[in-house]
């Protein structure tokens, strides 16, 4: 059985770390996370209006040279050359935004060049007026009519290796993951799933990894509080009999 992963997701706007997409800046911690050696992976996301800036390239390069865990990088990828840019600056994997569901050819081209193991497809979801889930694009501002299941199926068929489920409504809430929809989606597909959005305590992560087929728990907020947070989380999960990397 594969060990579960704990992944920290760091969001940057013009080179400054923000705690969530709710845009709360955290100037103290921009590069401090490289010292948190017990994390399994790090996600770096650029939400700047001007993508592929020197600021963000330097951040990606700094993390890749100073940490010894896989680095996944996303933000604005819309062509193969964008993926080339991130890989050249030290990314181990890239994260493709939900908007690329409309351009599956790009996923195929990147997959052929770098392999499916290098691609994480982000599936941003949000409830519509009928309380049903649809794919959201443009940082959650625009709701499509595409069902998450169809988006996942298409992405996997075209070369994505992992799927990141991000519930926009739960983002930054600290109220826990949306276990219902995550459980429903992860049991339908045979791939590695990551979940993001809502973690506020160790029980939330424990519940996610125990009750769903998720391979990794991603979080943004709770690891910003103390350098000992990750070790604390892993010790707690181990006590809950979750197979975790220590």
Residues tagged active-site: 124
Which residues have a Cβ under 8 Å from the Cβ of 110 and sit 6 or more positions away? 80, 83, 94, 96, 118, 119, 159
Q: Report how far residue 120's alpha carbon sits from residue 159's, in angstroms, rounded to the nearest whole number.
A: 10
Q: Which two tokens stand for residue 12?
A: 């940057």
Q: Report how far residue 235's alpha carbon sits from residue 244's, in angstroms, rounded to the nearest whole number.
A: 9
Is 44 within 8 Å of 70 (Cβ atoms)?
no
Q: Report how far residue 60's alpha carbon sits from residue 46's, in angstroms, rounded to the nearest whole number.
A: 10
Name the strand (E) or helix (H) holding 112: helix 104-114
Which residues have a Cβ under 8 Å from the Cβ of 123 and sit 6 or more positions away? 98, 135, 148, 151, 152, 155, 163, 164, 165, 166
Give the CA radius of gyration of the chain.
17
Q: Report how far residue 72's alpha carbon sits from residue 6's, in angstroms, rounded to the nearest whole number.
A: 13
Which residues have a Cβ under 8 Å from the Cβ of 167 and sit 6 or more positions away? 125, 126, 177, 178, 181, 197, 198
Q: Which two tokens stand for residue 5?
A: 């992963």
Eight-state DSSP code of residue 19: S
């Amino acid at each position: 059985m594969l060990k579960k992963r704990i992944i920290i997701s760091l969001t940057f706007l013009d080179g400054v770390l923000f705690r969530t997409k709710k845009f709360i800046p955290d100037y103290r911690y921009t590069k401090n996370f490289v010292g948190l050696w017990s994390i399994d992976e790090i996600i770096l996301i650029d939400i700047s209006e001007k993508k592929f800036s020197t600021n963000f390239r330097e951040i990606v390069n700094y993390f890749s040279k100073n940490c010894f865990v896989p680095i996944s990088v996303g933000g604005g990828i819309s062509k193969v050359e964008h993926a080339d840019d991130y890989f050249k600056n030290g990314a181990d994997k890239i994260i493709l935004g939900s908007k690329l569901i409309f351009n599956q050819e790009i996923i195929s081209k990147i997959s052929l060049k770098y392999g499916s193991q290098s691609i994480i497809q982000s599936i941003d979801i949000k409830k519509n007026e009928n309380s049903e889930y649809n794919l959201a694009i443009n940082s959650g501002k625009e709701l499509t009519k595409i069902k998450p299941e169809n988006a996942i199926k298409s992405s996997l068929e075209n070369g994505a290796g992992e799927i990141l489920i991000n519930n926009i409504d739960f983002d930054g809430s600290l109220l826990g993951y949306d276990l219902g929809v995550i459980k429903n989606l992860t049991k339908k597909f045979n791939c590695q799933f990551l979940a993001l959005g809502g973690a506020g305590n160790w029980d939330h992560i424990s519940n996610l990894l125990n009750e769903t087929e998720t391979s990794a728990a991603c979080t943004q907020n709770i690891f910003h509080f103390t350098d000992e947070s990750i070790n604390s989380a892993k010790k707690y999960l181990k006590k809950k009999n979750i197979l975790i990397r220590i």
